[in-house]
A and B are shown apart, each in its own frame.
Chain A
């Protein structure tokens, strides 16, 4: 879910980019976010996800496989970052999400019973659940593809932000804005959903392009510090206090933090505000999240047999389609990872 900073980010800071412009860049992708995107988007008209002959969901594997190849063909070097154990301060949000999903399952069944396919699809998407087996298969698939992944200690976005700050990744990629709060210098949105997408409830397709938000530029445009950005996010609502503060929207949150300087001071003038946990603990978490410092990022030659075994033999993917995609993956590996294509920028003085 993540914090919603959308309204706060000026258009001048939100820059649309083309995938080729990211050639050669290491991108730390929020794996859970990407897998949920695939689970939500890759479905049949009635909302049923892709499944193998044993009834196991495979939408996430399909998206992960084809989309990763697609971005690698543009020369991007993806590294997926998986969430670890959720922090205790996230318990309220986890409980809320569970309830939303349970309700969505009920509504999905009701919609299906009355033959409302559009509503059924919507509720089915809301009820998407990423299980441990799915995550294990996703990691197996990445290993077979030769694409690195990193296990975070807790939040994947915190880990991805750390890797970016350390210079091991050029940017983080997620639909959520949390990695900016965790200090990522650059966030790329729409990376895993780029292309033509249908608008919900409308028969209209729009072209989605990746967009990049630079933390430095954002803070400069807003005239605040990263700590103040975290303060604003806490007032608006984060994964650790999903409700935020009642009656406070982006404009007011910004005004309050700019006027009083910090969340600590704002809390003094909002004495009756209730938080599920101490808001200063949330702030502390964004500033000092637990991260895994012992990771290795290495791309390897795709292992064709392992990919075929997992996707085709285990999960009934079409072998012809998978083999064609493997050829594209091998070519991308040869061109952009093994034999590196240089850019002319090296020769512009």
Chain B
């Protein structure tokens, strides 16, 4: 059995909106310790790993390991109906092959119930890439959001360059250029780099998928290496972590 109550409904909406951008099906794995969702986009360019520990929920019940699949689009459309006044409740009704989603309005007491059909199939247990990344930058999620949105005005890809004291994001096309330079405390929260310079280029379209996650988090940690994947970690309310992996573009 699995049941979880989450009061930060408006934040959960952003999680669902991020998941829908990566995969058509969300593989939920509920354990007594919490919920894990780990899925690779069909084209294998991005991966999402969401961990919400049991303590991140207001109420959490799960006897053993419960894996279930739902359509990300259906799940997102229902979760989107929640408001900041709602408390979200997820209940797995395995025998009825559905996930029940209840919104309870804290002010008016109105209860709204939706059912999302479970999809057939089993959960593929994926692990995240185990690689050493040379640059680690921590910044406000809103700053990252601005970088991606600015860069999109100029081109399709963005190069991240990290030196000992700077993080630079560059997008360049024939007639246009966008460059954003950030330094430690101006406004970076932290910057750790293991080499003199680390460079890698990513698709802005793929990074855009993280913008919804950025709405749910205050800060994020960006890790990447020379021509290697970027790992973007968002701290979720109540202690969860949403990790987004994006493969680089070869130059």
Contacts of B205 in A (CB 8 A): 335
Please tell me if B248 contacts chain A, counting CB pairs below 8 Å.
yes
Partner of B42, one of A18, A346, A349: A18
Please tell me if B229 contacts chain A, counting CB pairs below 8 Å.
yes
Contact with B along A312-349 (1 / 0, CB 8 A): 00000000000000000001001100011111111111
Closest to B173 in A: A334
Known: A18-B42, A344-B46, A344-B47. A349 touches B156 (CB 8 A): no
Residues A349 and B130 in contact, CB atoms below 8 Å apart: yes
Residues B250 and A342 in contact, CB atoms below 8 Å apart: yes
Residues A348 and B129 in contact, CB atoms below 8 Å apart: yes
Known: A342-B247, A348-B129. A335 touches B43 (CB 8 A): no
Residues A21 and B43 in contact, CB atoms below 8 Å apart: yes
Residues B247 and A20 in contact, CB atoms below 8 Å apart: no
Residues A343 and B44 in contact, CB atoms below 8 Å apart: yes
Please tell me if B3 contacts chain A, counting CB pairs below 8 Å.
no
Please tell me if B170 contacts chain A, counting CB pairs below 8 Å.
no
Please tell me if B101 contacts chain A, counting CB pairs below 8 Å.
no
> How many pairs of A and B residues are in contact by the CB < 8 Å rule?
61
Residues B45 and A344 in contact, CB atoms below 8 Å apart: yes
Contacts of B249 in A (CB 8 A): 335, 339-342
Contacts of B42 in A (CB 8 A): 18, 20-21
- Range of interface residues on B (Cβ < 8 Å): 20 to 34
Taking Cβ atoms with an 8 Å cutoff, the residues of B that contact A are 24, 40-47, 127, 129-131, 156-157, 201, 203, 205-206, 228-229, 245, 247-251
Closest to B225 in A: A347
* A-B contact sample (7 more), CB < 8 A, given A341-B247, A342-B247, A344-B247: A21-B42, A21-B43, A23-B44, A75-B43, A335-B156, A335-B205, A335-B249
Partner of A347, one of B41, B129, B201: B129
- Cα distance A344–B43 in the bound complex, in angstroms: 9
- Chain A nearest CB from B12 CB (Å) reads 26
Closest to A342 in B: B247
Contacts of B203 in A (CB 8 A): 335, 341
- Chain A nearest CB from B200 CB (Å) reads 10
Residues B247 and A339 in contact, CB atoms below 8 Å apart: no
Contacts of A341 in B (CB 8 A): 45, 203, 206, 247, 249-250
- Cα distance A335–B24 in the bound complex, in angstroms: 22
Please tell me if A36 contacts chain B, counting CB pairs below 8 Å.
no
Please tell me if A285 contacts chain B, counting CB pairs below 8 Å.
no
- Cα distance A348–B129 in the bound complex, in angstroms: 5
Known: A339-B201, A344-B46, A344-B229. A334 touches B247 (CB 8 A): no
